[in-house]
């Protein structure tokens, strides 16, 4: 079982609930907690520098604002920054978010190891999730497994992500095409880009580029 865990959760009740599960149900006692992503990251960096790395990160997705200016304001940003230093740390997201598309994005883009939705079955599901992740399994929640949306989820490739990121920065399709040609990224024809963007519009049910950018930002894709 894991012996050192970092918990990032800003609600005291949820925070203490996770720690109680780790202590009493899983016999894990080397736990550090943080109520803000920046604090969690600092604790992670210190442990990494001391060569006493955390084996598991359990984090929420959203954190309430505080009077202090925060560099990292979401669990996604925390995951990205921690994984950039310690790529193989196990990550479990513990959140109220139950949208299958957003949960699936976390597995596909950020390669999280497990997800638990807060709710009536959260204690049981968190224990199962931690055990499964420790065994090397990818632990998807029932909300994703049982969703009819799962089989319809779009598989975004590198070009799709480039298009979304460029659109999010305000570039037009014509400007993107020029950039792709300069970078020798293909396909880069006008028709190919039009087809790609139209496919993204259809999948995300976006009315225009602005609407598409708003949707993918909400999902954490860009």
pLDDT score, position 62: 85
* Mean pLDDT on 42-52: 96
Render pLDDT for 140-152 as a digit per residue (tens, 0 to 9): 998 777 764 444 4
* Mean pLDDT on 191-215: 88
142 Cβ neighbours under 8 A, 6+ residues apart:
125
CATH topology of domain 4-148: Rossmann fold (3.40.50)
pLDDT score, position 217: 78
- pLDDT, mean over the chain: 88
What are the φ and ψ backbone dihedral angles of 146, each rounded to 5 degrees?
Answer: -90, 0
Between 3.40.50.150, 1.10.10.10, 3.40.50.720, 1.20.1250.20, what CATH number should domain 154-218 receive? Answer: 1.10.10.10
Q: Does the CA dihedral 110-52-124-62 come out positive or negative?
A: negative
CB 87 within 8 A of CB 36: no
Q: How far is CA 90 from the centre of its chain?
A: 12
Q: pLDDT: is 220 or 114 the higher one?
A: 114
pLDDT score, position 151: 45
Q: Where are the domains of the chain?
A: 4-148, 154-218
Render pLDDT for 78-101 as a digit per residue (tens, 0 to 9): 999 999 999 999 999 999 888 887
Render pLDDT for 20-41 as a digit per residue (tens, 0 to 9): 999 999 999 999 999 999 999 9
Render pLDDT for 121-171 as a digit per residue (tens, 0 to 9): 889 999 999 999 999 999 999 877 776 444 445 567 788 888 988 999 999
């Amino acid at each position: 079982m894991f012996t050192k865990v970092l918990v990032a959760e800003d609600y005291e009740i949820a925070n203490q609930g996770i720690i109680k599960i780790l202590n009493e149900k899983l016999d894990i006692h080397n736990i550090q907690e943080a109520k803000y992503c920046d604090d969690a990251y600092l604790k992670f960096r210190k442990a990494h520098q001391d060569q006493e790395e955390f084996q598991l990160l359990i984090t929420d997705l959203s954190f309430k604002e505080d009077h202090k200016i925060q560099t990292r304001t979401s669990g996604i940003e925390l995951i990205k920054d921690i994984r950039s230093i310690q790529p193989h740390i196990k990550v479990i997201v513990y959140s109220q978010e139950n949208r299958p598309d957003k949960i699936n994005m976390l597995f596909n883009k950020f390669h999280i190891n497990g997800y638990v939705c807060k709710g009536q079955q959260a204690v049981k599901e968190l224990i199962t999730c931690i055990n499964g992740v420790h065994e090397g399994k990818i632990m998807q929640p029932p909300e994703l497994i049982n969703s009819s949306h799962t089989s319809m989820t779009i598989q975004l490739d590198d070009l799709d992500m480039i298009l979304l990121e460029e659109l999010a920065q305000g570039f037009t399709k014509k400007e993107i095409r020029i950039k792709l040609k300069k970078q020798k990224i293909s396909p880069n024809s006008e028709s190919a880009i039009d087809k790609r963007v139209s496919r993204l519009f259809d999948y995300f049910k976006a009315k225009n580029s602005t609407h598409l950018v708003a949707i993918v930002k909400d999902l954490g894709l860009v």
